[in-house]
Each structure stands twice: as structure tokens, then as C-alpha cells.
Amino acid sequence: MKESIPIMVGCIAALGVAPVLAQSTPRAFFVPANELPSTNPAGRIQVTATQGGTVCLDLCGSSPPPGLHRIIIVGIGDAYGGDSGNVSLDCASAIIDADAPTHPANNLNHVDLANCAGGSYNYAQLELAHVGGGGIGNVALSTTGNYLGEACWEISSDACGTFEIYYYILGTSNPPLCACFTPPDSSSCYSNQQPACDGADIIIGAINDQCAEAKSAGVGLMLAESTPYDTSCASSDAPAASCSAMQNGVWFSAVASCTGLLEIAAGLDADYAVYAAGVGCSPTEADEIGCNDPFVPVEQGQTYLIRIASDDGADVEGDFALTCRPLCRDGFPPGSAETVADCGYTPCVTAACESGLCTGQPVLYGDANRDDAVDIFDILCVLDGFAGNFTECPFDAVDLYPCQPDGFDFVDIFDILAILDAFAGENLCCE
């Protein structure tokens, strides 16, 4: 992050930026990391960021001719504002790159981190200086700007809104200067010229505010799996759905764990729309397969987009639960080979069929007789299953290993070894 450019006259049309305005005082400003200072001819910059991310900026300065300064001091700190969370200066990232061509032979450059130690307000001061007089060896700044240093800011996972970063020098004057530019052969900042300082606005939205950045949501098989949602930092980037205006929403993607019906529960205040697999990030109302519907049809392995929002744009947050329920044949007992064949197998769930849809109850690994304990009676049940007797314990309760189905047709020596491991307290499959 150490770009600099020579003094340029006139319009910078070749760079595709606006011409530098006439300048009567020194100026401190920001540019995104590794961009030329001339890409910010005037004004604050706006940077779009994401929750939990990092923003890095180059610190820059410019000055009218002759542009010579014995000392330059710029201060930076934590950002202000925002609706929630924080944007904090990463103290270790505040540096002056010794290889930057802006500072040839400047022998007193350093970063003061005395006030950047994890307090309530982190503050770093970058100081550029040279020993010499008569303008010899002074820091030279062009009218288009030069690199002064660099720093990064850490964004909290709950940060939301617009945060403001300023240049600011503590204790230099009252009111305080935003930066200090000392003329040649002087030891004090300009006494009659307030430097121009342009800061940066860090604009933060939800990570999954856009469809292209949809967050993955878990889909449980017969048992619900929950995913948190929060629209407080979201915006409207999609059309209305059939059941709601769907304002200020967040996006999720879900991979169906079965073929059957996906059960959705998102709370009373949230609206949601589910879109058909493969429609991409420009879904319309015609692509909906459900809108505030408790069940939608899905196919195993397909990915579906889900958007959660509200009809009036009010913030909503909570957890939404997704449960994939295969279709099944009624009339067979829970855990039977027929029910397992319809519903799928896991040694952590007893499968049952209710009104043509698979349901499940979580169980303790190795609890073959479903009495909430693993003991000698469970070992006997597995031995019965090994002999082909499922009178006392259902098939799926004794087919313990591997954790995925091994054919639904037999209990073998590996299941006996698994029940002995479970009896010893080892959980091979279930969380």
C-alpha cells in the first residue's frame, strides 16, 4: 500500500479521474489500499464493507507548491457512528512503509501507538520528519497527493450502518487540528491555516444482504435444523413476493436433504419466500414454490433460495427451522425396515410415518430399547437383531454402524462392536 506519483499539472484525464482543484492549504485524505492518491482529488470517500470484515486504507497528503514540510503528523482512530457494533482501528496495521518513494532519506518517520492499546478509543499518530534546514530534505508533497502511511479497521460481526473515520491530532491546538503540516525551518504547525482533511465513510450491510452472497442454511432430516436471521442491516434488493412486499430482506440457500416436503418455521413477524432450484439471483413471483407456506416440495440434492424479510420493512430477527420430510407409507411401526426404507436412516433418530410424512425422535446413540440409557439390555437387543429378531428393538435401533445405511437388510459384527463402544461411553455418530 505504498503508491505515490510525481507532481502533475492540469487535468489527469489519463487516469480517468477529475482534475485536482486549486489548493491553498495542505490536505490529508484517504484512498482505498493500493490506489493512487490522485484517485481522490477532493472529498470524503465511501467504502462498502461487510460485517466481520476488514477495511484497509492508504493515508495520503497533498500540498500547494513548493509542497515542502519539515514535519507532517496525521492521527487516525476508531470510527464513529453506525447503528450497531463497531469499526475499530487495528493498531498493528498502522505503519509508514519505509520503501515508499514519498519519503527519501526521511530519518525520523515513526508511528506513535501510545494511545492505541485496546482502550475505549484506539488512536494512532503517524509522524514524518527529517533533520535539516532551508528546505533541504524536507518531506515533499505534490498537489495530486502522496502516500503518508496506511492502516486497517476491523469490523465487528454485528456492525451495521455508516461509520465515519477522520484524521485527528490530539493536543495540537484548540480547536484541534485534523493534521499537522510544519513549514520548512519551523517547529510548529501552520498557525493561520487549518489543513483540509477528508475522511472516509464505511458503509456496512448484512453479509447476506445480496442474493449472490446468500448464507447457507442447514436442513435437518426429520429433525429441524435452525439458522439465525437478522434483517436489521438489510436492504430491499428483490421484487415483492406473492404474500408480502418483502422489504429489507436477507438471503439464504438450502440444499434439500430428502425428496419430499420441506417444512419451514420462521416466527410470527417474518415473511419468507422460497424459490425453485436453479432460478439464479433474479427470481420473480413466478419462480416461487412457496410464500409463507409451512411446506414446499423439494428434491434431494437441489439448492433452493430463501428470502426472509417483512411486509413493511420493519426489522425482524430470530431463528428459522428447516426440516426435510420424505413421503412414507403409513401402517408400519416406528423404526421398522419399511419405514427406514421410506424415511432414510440415522442411528440418532427413530423414524416414524405420520399422515404420509416422515417424522423422527432424537435418541441416545446405542439406546437400542429406547429407555434413555445404554446398558446390558441394549447389547442383548443388538444380539437379537444379529439373529434376525426385531421383536424387542426396531431395526433402525440396532443397525448402529456405519452411521450411514449399510443396506437396511442385516445387523452384523460391526453393529455388535458399535454397541459395545456405546456401552463404554463412546459416541460414534450422534452429536
* Domain assignment present for 331: no
CB neighbour list of residue 249: distance below 8 Å, 6 or more residues apart: 231, 234, 236, 237, 238, 307, 308, 309, 310
Q: Is the model more confident about 371 or about 286?
A: 286
* Domain assignment present for 3: no
**160 and 302 housed in the same domain:** no
The reported pLDDT for the residue numbered 3 is 39
pLDDT tens digit sequence for 288-304: 999 999 999 999 999 99
* Domain assignment present for 309: yes
Query: How far apart, in Å, do the first and last CA atoms of the chain sit?
Result: 46
DSSP 18-67: PPPPP-SS-EEEEEETT--GGG-SSS-EEEEEETT-EEEEEEEEE-STT-
pLDDT of 383 higher than 50: yes
pLDDT of 4 higher than 60: no
* Domain assignment present for 431: no
**88 and 155 housed in the same domain:** yes
Considering the entire predicted model, what is its pTM? 0.63
**18 and 52 housed in the same domain:** yes
* Domain assignment present for 336: no
Q: What is the mean pLDDT of residues 157-184?
A: 83
Q: What percent of the chain has pLDDT over 70?
A: 86
pLDDT of 200 higher than 80: yes
**300 and 382 housed in the same domain:** no
Q: Mean pLDDT score of the chain, rounded to an integer?
A: 85
Range of the domain at 384: 343-353+361-423
Side chain identity, residue 422: A
pLDDT of 186 higher than 80: no
Identify the CATH number of the domain in which residue 64 sits.
Answer: 2.60.40.680
Q: How confident is the model at residue 430 (pLDDT cuts 50, 70, 90)?
A: confident
**198 and 223 housed in the same domain:** no
Please count the structural domains in the chain: 3
pLDDT of 322 higher than 70: yes
* Domain assignment present for 337: no
**297 and 374 housed in the same domain:** no
Q: How confident is the model at residue 363 (pLDDT cuts 50, 70, 90)?
A: confident
Produce one character per residue of 147-173: b if its CB has 16 or more CB atoms within 10 Å, e if not.
Answer: bbbbbbbbbbebbbbebebbbbbeebe
Q: Is the model more confident about 126 or about 395?
A: 126
